[in-house]
Amino acid sequence: MKEFDYIIIGGGCAGLSLAYELEIHEKFKDKTLAIIEPRNDYIRDKTWSFWKVEAHNFEDCVKKSWNNFSINIPDQTKYVQCDNLPYQSIDSGLFYEKIINTLKKNTNINFFKNIDEISTENSFVFNSLSDVSDSKNDLWQHFSGIEIETNKDLFDDQIFNLMDFDCEQRGSVHFFYTLPYSKNKALIETTWLSKMKDNSQKDYDNQIKDYIENHLNLKDYKITYKETGAIPLFYPININKKNKINIGTAGGMTRLSTGYTFLNIQEHSKYICDNIENISKTKIFEINKKYQFLDKIFLRVLEKYPEKMPNIFLKMFHGSSKTVIKFLSNKSNFFVDLLIILKMPKWIFINALFK
């Protein structure tokens, strides 16, 4: 069976980001790569959004960028500016197309549908598959969204809505998220932070329809795209072995308090690329331990006091937006961390710390 220097298991966001980073830095001139990916076609299936706190390779796949956003709780709306750290949305269709077209040109890179088609014995493996089957009691961010088109210009495309908590909470944390791509096109998502075993929240289609028709007061619209998914708000169990590194969600690249993963994947890819010549001896890359610790406490509060979360999220954005964006994007210093911590309701968080 054919052997390769490197194997990437899963040609999704993390697998392709890594392959692209290595390819543009000419790491496959005399090395070979096998990408294991079962899907037949790459079609748009996700929208990756984030505050651009650092440069990335996919500026040409950005569908839209915003400098303003809002957060709502019942009877209160907060408007926030983010001029220096814009919020970007990447179209996964453009992302897949750009990467596949680049990788196809290098004959040292091959795609396979199944790992059994190649020998893995002497390869270094980057794995993006995780086993999360036993995690029924853990928290997930689960959501569904539709892109809609209207005949008339009804959206203000200069401002997106990060979280609208003015909706049913059903004993969990629930909000709507609206990304207006233009004056007559927007992605509208219903998002839940809860345990997955609770199926009573999964009437996503009805929730979105009701929100669009009775909250946004839009009656005449066309659905042009749909995405549904779930992001684990816990670290999947995946043991790092010699000659194997986990990447993407499987590699712990999700920020647990937010679900943001895309930019962490890009940072991880750069780290691997910088160290590829000595990869088996390189320290494992991880999200800074201080965020792991703070997010754990945050999620304990979320689980115990879901009804308090809309106010906590809103409060977080009081004051400088740069501060909170940097904190949520793993780029904060000690003083920024302190500022955020001081905004939180003290006793609830101290209680959660000692749980």
Ligand X SMILES: Cc1cc2nc3c(=O)[nH]c(=O)nc-3n(C[C@H](O)[C@H](O)[C@H](O)COP(=O)(O)OP(=O)(O)OC[C@H]3O[C@@H](n4cnc5c(N)ncnc54)[C@H](O)[C@@H]3O)c2cc1C
Residue 13 touching ligand X (CB under 6 A): yes
Site map 176..215 versus ligand X, x via CB under 6 A: ----------------------------------------
Q: Nearest-CA neighbor of 231 among 249, 243, 210?
A: 249
For position 11 contacting ligand X by CB under 6 A, the verdict is yes
C-beta of 50 vs 221, nearer to ligand X: 50
Give the total of residues touching ligand X (CB under 6 A): 28
**Residues constituting the chain:** 355
Torsion sign (Cα): 229, 235, 238, 242: positive
261 binds ligand X (CB under 6 A): yes
From 243, 345, 341, 244, select the one nearest 293 (Cα to Cα).
Answer: 341
Indicate the residue among 100 and 348 with the shorter CB distance to ligand X.
100
Whichever of 38 and 171 has its CB closer to ligand X, that residue is 38
Nearer to ligand X, 54 or 153 (CB): 54
Query: Which of 277, 296, 275 has its CA nearest to residue 285?
Result: 275
Q: How far is the CB of 97 from ligand X (least distance, A)?
A: 14
Q: Is 227 among the residues that bind ligand X (CB under 6 A)? A: yes
Beta bridge partners of 48: 90
What is the rounded distance in angstroms from the CA atom of residue 19 to the CA atom of residue 5? Answer: 13
* Closest approach of ligand X to the CB of residue 217, in Å: 26
Q: Buried b / exposed e across 239-260, counting CB within 10 Å, b at 16+? A: eeeeebbbbbbbbbbbbbbbbb
Find the part of the chain contacting ligand X (CB under 6 A) among 37-45, 273-281, 305-313, 329-337.
37-45
Cα separation, 309 vs 19, in Å, equals 39
Can you say how many angstroms the Cα of residue 270 is from the centroid of all Cα atoms in its chain? 18
Q: Decide if residue 262 touches ligand X (CB under 6 A).
A: yes
User: Whole-number minimum distance, CB 10 to ligand X, in Å?
Assistant: 3
Query: Applying CB under 6 A, which of residues 120, 246, 249, 269 lies at the interface with ligand X?
Result: 249
The residue within the footprint of ligand X, chosen from 38, 168, 206, 240 (CB under 6 A), is: 38
Q: Does 50 bind ligand X (CB under 6 A)?
A: yes
Binding to ligand X by residue 100, rule CB under 6 A? Answer: no
What φ, ψ does residue 210 adopt, rounded to 5°? -65, -40
| CA angle (97, 98, 101) in 5-degree steps | 80
Q: Which residue among 103, 231, 256, 287 contacts ligand X (CB under 6 A)?
A: 231
Among 4, 7, 10, 160, binds ligand X (CB under 6 A): 10
Is residue 97 close enough to count as binding ligand X by CB under 6 A? no
350 SS3 class = helix
Extended strands (E) in the chain? 6-9, 33-36, 47-51, 62-66, 68-73, 76-81, 87-91, 109-112, 124-127, 139-150, 160-164, 173-182, 185-195, 221-232, 244-246
Residue among 180, 232, 248, 310 that touches ligand X (CB under 6 A): 248
**218's tokens:** 């839009």
Residue 9 makes contact with ligand X by CB under 6 A: yes
Enter the DSSP assignment of 330: T
- Tell me whether residue 13 or residue 276 sits nearer to ligand X (CB atom): 13
Which range binds ligand X by CB under 6 A, 32-40, 198-206, 306-314, 321-329? 32-40
C-beta of 80 vs 250, nearer to ligand X: 250
Nearer to ligand X by C-beta: 73 or 253?
A: 253
What residue ranges bind ligand X (CB under 6 A)? 9-15, 36-39, 46-50, 128-129, 227, 229, 231, 248-250, 259-262
